[in-house]
Amino acid sequence: MHHRSLVAPFLPSLQRPTLACLSWLMVAALCLAWPRPAQARSTPTEKSEPKVEKAERTEKSDKQSSDKSATPVRDAGKEEGAAENLGVLRQRLAERLATRPDPAPAPSAKAEARSEAKAESRAGKRAEPKGHGGELHWAYEGEGGPEHWGELKPEYRLCASGKRQSPIDIRDGIRVDLEKIQFDYQPSGFAVLDNGHTIQVNIAPGNSLQVMGRRYELLQFHFHRPSEERINGRQFDMVAHLVHKDADGRLAVVAVLLERGRDQPLVQTVWNNLPLEKGEPLPAPGQMDLNQLLPEDRGYYTYMGSLTTPPCSEGVLWMVMRQPVQLSANQLNIFGRLYPMNARPVQPGSGRLIKESQ
């Protein structure tokens, strides 16, 4: 009201535009004179702002310096943690690899061929038999081989300590007019047995021989590969041992040497009747005549020796036919697949007398 009273005397002389301008001026003056709020008066001045900014900059600088000093510690901690984690991962990977079966590499053609050859060789060899108590039985190789026969059982001690053991290398024999062996072999029934050491043929009673005033009954015959006997150092492809016994229990063995050549009919008869299982004699149909196995020349070597298998009993009369008998390569191979080697090594002669037919 006070302002209007001051201006009122001049109002009639002023035009309308001038009134409008004055009105705006009054409004502006009122706005300037209006008291400011407390918040506006408390706003920091330009002089206080530098102090705040300086404090903030100091705080930031301290923080950065602390961060810089703490950075190596944190980095070292991170590196130690990473190394520890890497070690744990490696340990876990090693444990998994240890428990995980390694994949079998694909065998090469040569490796497969060698593996097949080894398998065939193992198939051809007989495993060393074990008794019911797990005791080791005699064999031709390994822990039960000939060099250990005398240790396997007390009753086998002669295999190691005997002085009249067989086989021997027959040489330097004395040629004399030996008594002819009188063979009395007849066609007879027979059974074929695979006893785990050789192929054995059990002959029905009624076959015998007579020599040196004694009569010996034929019990069985069997085979060895290669021949156990040697003649002046020569070893043959195989040998057949014909085992006889007299009424007093004395043994006489006729050895028929076998060499590669043409088919042998009697041997083929034996192969035709091979049993499928070991330890079970297979009775064969028909009969066999042992005269077919003997050579035409009945000259022989003779000496006193022993059984060539445990218990290696001594006091055995040996008669080794001088002329070998032939059998075919196929017949040799058939036995070789069953028993590649079942011959005892030659034993010391120990000064024994050997006689030979003239």
Half-sphere exposure of 358 (CA within 13 A, CB side): 4
Q: pLDDT category, 94, cuts 50, 70, 90? A: low
pLDDT digits (tens, 9 = 90+) for 182-205: 999 999 999 999 999 999 999 999
Domains of the chain, by residue range, sit at 142-357
**More confident of the two residues 35 and 303:** 303
Return mean pLDDT, the chain.
79
Give φ, ψ of 341 to 5 degrees: -155, 115
Q: pLDDT category, 136, cuts 50, 70, 90? A: confident
Task: Give the range among 44-53, 89-98, 109-118, 148-157 with minimum mean pLDDT.
Answer: 44-53
Alpha-carbon span 284 to 273, nearest angstrom: 6
What is residue 232's predicted lDDT score, i.e. its pLDDT?
Answer: 96
Tell me, yes or no, if 197 is annotated catalytic.
Answer: yes
Residues 6+ away with beta carbon under 8 Å from 207: 184, 185, 186, 188, 217, 218, 290
**Chain centroid, CA 155 distance in Å:** 35
Alpha-carbon span 327 to 306, nearest angstrom: 27
Which of the listed CATH numbers 3.40.50.150, 3.10.450.50, 3.40.50.300, 3.10.200.10 matches domain 142-357?
3.10.200.10
Half-sphere exposure of 205 (CA within 13 A, CB side): 2
User: Is residue 158 within 8 Å of residue 165, measured between CB atoms?
Assistant: yes
Both tokens assigned to 59? 């705080």
Mean pLDDT score, 17-35: 50
Mean pLDDT score, 18-46: 48
What is residue 228's predicted lDDT score, i.e. its pLDDT?
Answer: 98
pLDDT at 301 over 80: yes
CA-closest candidate to residue 351, choices 172, 218, 141: 172
Q: pLDDT category, 26, cuts 50, 70, 90? A: low
Q: pLDDT category, 231, cuts 50, 70, 90? A: very high
What is residue 41's predicted lDDT score, i.e. its pLDDT?
Answer: 43
**More confident of the two residues 129 and 142:** 142
Mean pLDDT score, 19-26: 50
| Residue recorded with tokens 């069997």 | 222
Task: Give the range among 50-54, 141-145, 273-277, 341-345 with minimum mean pLDDT.
Answer: 50-54
Instruction: Catalytic residue, from 3, 148, 197, 241: name it.
Output: 197
Mean pLDDT score, 303-311: 98
Residue burial 231-247, b: 16+ Cβ < 10 Å; e: rest: beeebbbbbbbbbbeee
Give me the percent of the chain exceeding a pLDDT of 70. Answer: 63
Alpha-carbon span 197 to 138, nearest angstrom: 9
CA-closest candidate to residue 299, choices 280, 278, 266, 324: 324
Mean pLDDT score, 162-185: 96
Alpha-carbon span 159 to 151, nearest angstrom: 9
Mean pLDDT score, 276-301: 96
Task: Give the range among 2-6, 105-109, 271-275 with minimum mean pLDDT.
Answer: 2-6
Q: pLDDT category, 175, cuts 50, 70, 90? A: very high
pLDDT at 180 over 90: yes
What is residue 46's predicted lDDT score, i.e. its pLDDT?
Answer: 41
pLDDT at 142 over 60: yes
